[in-house]
Structure formats: C-alpha cells, structure tokens
Amino acid sequence: MAPPVSGAICLRLIKRKEVKKMDIYVRPTEVLDADHETMQSTAADLTRGCADSAEKAVRLFYFVRDSIRYNVFMISVFKEDFKASRILNWKKGYCVQKAVLLTALGRAAGIPSRLVFAKIRNHRVPAHIYEKLGVNVFPRHGYNQFYLQERWVSAAATFDKRLCDRNSLPVVEFDGKNDAVLPQTDFEGNPYIEYLERFSPADDLPFDWIVERISAVVGPDKRPWFKPEDEVHAP
C-alpha cells in the first residue's frame, strides 16, 4: 500500500496539473503562429518595460484594436488567410482575423490566450454593407481571452477607434482586469451589438466550423478584397 500523500504535496501536484493544462494556451499552432520571427519581435517591442502580464495584454490589445484596421471585406474561406503573421503584415482584418492575431501575440508574450466566438446581431450595419452581405447577424463573431490574475478576461479588439469615431459609435476599452466586449448600445442608448449565442472557448482556430457558416454568406471561393473602395471600413 502506498504511503499517504501530504497536503502540501497534493497542492503542488494540483498546481503542476494546472500549469500543464495551460500549456495549450501558450503554444503556437499553424494559424496562431506565435513562434514566427515577426510575431516574436512585435510582441517583444510592444511589451517592453511592462510590469506584468496585465500591462502586456493591454498594450497588445490597443495595438490590434487600432493598428490593425477593421475591414469586413477581409473575410476569407481559406485557412492561410487567417494566419496571425499574415494579418500582422496586412495590417487589416475582420473580427476573427484580429482575434487570431491578438491571441497569437498574447502567446508570443507568454500570456495564456484563447479564442472565443459568439453569434451576434449588429443593429448598426451600414446600408452599403448590408446590401453586399444581406445580413446583420454574424454567426461566427470572434474575440479573445487572456488568462490574467488566475481568471479568463475577455477582450474584443474588433473595431478600431478611427472607425468608431467616424461612425459615432462607442469604442471598446480594456484595462487588463475587466471583460471588454462590444457595447450593447450606442451613445444614444439605441441597440448596437446583440449577443445572441456564446460558444465554448477554443485553444486553436476551429476553421472548418467557421467556414461552414460564413461560406453560406460569402460563397465558397471568397478571398480577402484589397480594392481601394473597400477601405471604407464599416462595423
């Protein structure tokens, strides 16, 4: 019969299991290529001098929110168009691509990070966007979560400040402590973003699950559009 395990040893074993469990949220993947040289150098530059992981997460959030401009026409049904290093190079993307980049940068900075998805209704979709897409419900809206101070904190870096200011919409702010998701109402109290359904977090991009739904809206061959007229970004 094995000798009883002391309480202290049990606690250490539990902590080791918890640390091992978090490994999946810091390792790179094909899409979350946190080990890419440019990803590593960018994360290092952005977080230099930070006191802790929360401060790092905040800096990464604001970089992705404002330096990677939101563009709904960047939607793609090809996996390579979701690679974090590619989005970083393009400096634009739609919600899922921006969430992938922020998650990968978090991992490159040593912060456990994961993807989260929700089905949302955007009550403020502009007419010209609605005319092209024909929908204001987005079944695979993506954002991300950082593991900070022993809990998961949501951060939606979707819409850049310039876009929000131009459309007179509230911008998402992140302090590294509280959840920061898209606002339910605009400045006048009118409906803005309605969360219809939330899905389980993912340690990697569930590409097939995403494409299954978005291909029905954008078609089976959609690639990112780089036309000048598509630079009129819209939420």
All structural domains of the chain with their residue ranges = 30-231
Q: Is 150 exposed, middle or buried (0-12, 13-18, 19+ CB in 10 A)?
A: exposed
Average pLDDT over residues 76-103: 97
In 10 A of CB 179, how many CB atoms? 12
Question: Quick one: pLDDT band at residue 8, thresholds 50, 70, 90?
Answer: low
| pLDDT cut 90: percent of the chain above it | 75
Which contacts of 200-203 are long-range, i.e. CB under 8 A and separated by 24 or more positions? Answer: 201/114, 201/115, 201/116, 201/145, 201/152, 202/114, 202/115, 202/116, 202/117, 203/24, 203/25, 203/114, 203/115
Residue 214, pLDDT score: 86
Question: Quick one: pLDDT band at residue 19, thresholds 50, 70, 90?
Answer: low
| More confidently predicted of 13 and 107 | 107
DSSP 175-228: -SSS-B---SB-TTS-B-EEEEEE---BSS--HHHHHHHHHHHH-TT------G
Residue 209, pLDDT score: 96
198/50 Cα distance (integer angstroms): 32
Place of tokens 């954008």: 218
Q: What is the pLDDT of residues 140-192, one digit of tens each?
A: 999 999 999 999 999 999 999 999 999 999 999 999 999 999 999 999 999 99
Q: Dig out the tokens for 66 from the structure.
A: 């404002």
Domain 30-231 has CATH 3.10.620: yes
Q: What is the pLDDT of residues 184-233, one digit of tens each?
A: 999 999 999 999 999 999 999 999 999 998 888 888 899 997 665 555 44
Average pLDDT over residues 123-127: 89
